């Protein structure tokens, strides 16, 4: 017989199957000898009280053996000679759109401006060590998109958008640990994700799909408001009437191209701010309310939201045991982001702390029309580059100094490898963002006592939280509202916010696109 229970236990019991079996036996009146196996279905940590607990949803096998059923990938057909769908971008939206095309019997042709996951590493090394930005291969562009080398978080609040568990199971089928099906906030890790991404690409190619790297799309041919072909940077073109546009939130040249060709796009609110680094030990002490975390608890994350004078300020993409990375996509700008390895074993934690922006905040850039938010974003990145010394060094300030408007006399070494320049954040940001950050960090400290410390360092800017534009599409067909055969998809189009929601949107766009193929 099998029984499902929800149970709350201490961290040390949660990791010990024998002790867990005894607790389950006592709580449910089942003989220990009759319990053959306990399968953990879901796990989360409750750190609200001084005594930390782990919430478990479990399946108990009583007088019945447990047989583990491995997750199977779909039975993908050979699509070598099938009808074709062009997919621009090999991030999670593009790759999962391609997988869905293959599954449904259609041939995806994936065009990616950047390099494959292995070759990308050289360009990441160059930006970290030599301050050289490759516009087509960096932390944002290349196989797997921005998520490949930015942590691999799989948590999403977008449960209404689609089947989250299906995406998680596919990732397990391609090599992710099955623990992502269990944890409340699943995470793969930047060191593990590249192999999974490569396995997806290999599967697409093995079944007749195409994936082309270092292939940047430079133009669209449109006839009678219908997509006709795409032009490539090498002068080639591909004739097609089905294009899934999944280029990511940093593809500014694509946004410029759409606007130039009078293909409808819209300015979209987003958030922008800084990335703050603390010691992981301090965050553990604040969150777990103990001096030492101990061996049974993972490095603690945090999530915090405040309203400051009617404007939201919140943590974004928090990376326990992680590092800060340089994520510029063009020379003459600096951008920060964070990531963690699978073990989250670095001595520091970091999080984006961002301020809610509204369309009226972009009024000084109104001449750019729907690209006003993008140019606002770009102006702060370029100003930061200039202030920090015109390399990949970033403006930085000790946290308490920021709240006092005081330039930091010195800065400790942080995980950001290209280096720091001591700059007052009041020079980096418009006054309304700077004031919100100053007041907001004081409010943060009231919720997380000890957070506001001068041992923490603020790095600027954290600016690529989401796309500054939305590419409108029909709610039912997911086709562009103006251009037939064009399917705006994922984060870059304004319809996702992370690996899972982007993958879900990719699958949805592929299915919608295929419905219209005769």
**442 and 299 share one domain:** yes
Burial of 155 (0-12, 13-18, 19+ CB in 10 A): middle
- So what's the pLDDT on residue 151? 63
Is 78 inside any structural domain? no
Is 72 inside any structural domain? no
Is 467 inside any structural domain? no
Split into its structural domains, the chain has a count of 3
**181 and 293 share one domain:** no
Q: pTM of the entire structure?
A: 0.95
**378 and 281 share one domain:** yes
Is 54 inside any structural domain? yes
Is 71 inside any structural domain? no
Question: Per-residue pLDDT tens for 473-507?
Answer: 999 999 999 999 999 999 999 999 999 999 999 99
**233 and 101 share one domain:** yes
Is 179 inside any structural domain? yes
Question: Per-residue pLDDT tens for 88-146?
Answer: 999 999 999 999 999 999 999 999 999 999 999 999 999 999 999 999 999 999 999 98
Q: What percent of the chain has pLDDT over 90?
A: 91
- So what's the pLDDT on residue 518? 64
Give residue 160's pLDDT band: very low, low, confident or very high (50, 70, 90). low
**169 and 144 share one domain:** yes
Looking at residues 332-352, what average pLDDT do you find?
95
Judged against a pLDDT cut of 60, whether residue 68 lies above it is answered with: yes
Give residue 158's pLDDT band: very low, low, confident or very high (50, 70, 90). low
**186 and 89 share one domain:** yes
Shortest CA distance to 253 belongs to which of 485, 482, 473, 469? 469
434: domain range? 271-462
The SS3 call for residue 457 is strand
**Alpha helical stretches, state H, 291-430:** 372-388, 399-404, 425-428
**54 and 127 share one domain:** no
**136 and 11 share one domain:** no
CA torsion sign, 317 to 468 to 433 to 393?
positive
Is 468 inside any structural domain? no
Shortest CA distance to 9 belongs to which of 67, 48, 57, 41? 57
Looking at residues 148-172, what average pLDDT do you find?
79
């Amino acid at each position: 017989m099998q029984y499902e229970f929800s149970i709350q236990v201490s961290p040390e019991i949660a990791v010990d199957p024998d002790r867990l079996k005894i607790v389950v036996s006592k709580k449910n009146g089942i003989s220990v000898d009759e319990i053959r196996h306990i399968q953990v279905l879901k796990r989360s940590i409750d750190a609200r009280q001084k005594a930390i607990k782990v919430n478990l949803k479990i399946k108990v096998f009583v007088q019945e053996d447990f047989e583990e059923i491995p997750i199977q990938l779909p039975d993908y057909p050979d699509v070598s000679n099938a009808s074709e769908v062009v997919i621009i971008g090999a991030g999670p939206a593009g790759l999962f759109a391609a997988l869905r095309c293959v599954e449904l019997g259609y041939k995806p042709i994936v065009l990616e401006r950047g390099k494959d996951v292995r070759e990308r590493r050289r360009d990441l090394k160059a930006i970290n060590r030599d301050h050289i930005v490759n516009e087509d291969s960096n932390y944002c562009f290349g196989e797997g998109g921005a998520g490949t080398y930015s942590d691999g978080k799989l948590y999403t609040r977008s449960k209404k958008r689609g089947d989250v568990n299906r995406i998680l199971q596919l990732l397990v089928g391609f090599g992710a640990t099955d623990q992502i099906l269990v944890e409340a906030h699943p995470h793969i890790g930047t060191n593990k994700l590249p192999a999974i991404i490569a396995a997806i690409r290999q599967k697409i190619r093995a079944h007749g799909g195409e994936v082309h790297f270092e292939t940047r799309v430079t133009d669209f041919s449109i006839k009678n408001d219908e997509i006709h072909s795409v032009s490539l940077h090498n002068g080639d073109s591909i004739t097609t009437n089905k294009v899934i546009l999944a280029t990511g939130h940093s593809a500014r040249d694509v946004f410029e191209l759409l606007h130039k060709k009078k293909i409808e796009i819209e300015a979209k609110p987003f958030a922008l701010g800084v990335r703050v680094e603390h010691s992981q030990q301090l965050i553990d002490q604040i969150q777990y309310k103990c001096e030492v975390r101990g061996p049974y608890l993972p490095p603690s994350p945090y999530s915090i939201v405040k309203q400051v004078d009617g404007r939201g300020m919140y943590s974004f993409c928090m990376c326990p045991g992680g590092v800060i990375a340089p994520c510029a996509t063009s020379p003459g700008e600096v951008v920060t982001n964070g990531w963690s390895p699978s073990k989250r074993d670095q001595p520091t934690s970091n999080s984006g702390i961002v301020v809610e922006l509204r369309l009226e905040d972009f009024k000084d850039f109104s001449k750019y029309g729907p690209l006003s938010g993008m140019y606002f974003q770009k102006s702060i990145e370029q100003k930061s580059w200039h202030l920090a010394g015109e390399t990949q060094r970033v403006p930085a300030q000790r946290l308490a100094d920021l709240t006092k408007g005081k330039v930091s006399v010195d800065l400790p070494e942080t995980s950001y490898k290209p280096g720091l320049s001591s700059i007052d954040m009041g020079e980096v940001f418009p006054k309304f963002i700077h004031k919100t950050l100053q007041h907001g960090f004081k409010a943060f400290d009231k919720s997380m006592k000890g957070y506001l410390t001068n041992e923490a360092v603020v790095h600027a800017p954290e600016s690529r939280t989401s796309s500054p534009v939305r590419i409108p599409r029909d709610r039912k067909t997911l086709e562009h509202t103006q251009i037939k055969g064009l399917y705006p998809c994922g984060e870059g189009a304004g319809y996702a916010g992370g690996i899972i929601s982007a993958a879900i949107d990719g699958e949805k766009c592929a299915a919608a696109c295929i419905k219209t193929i005769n």
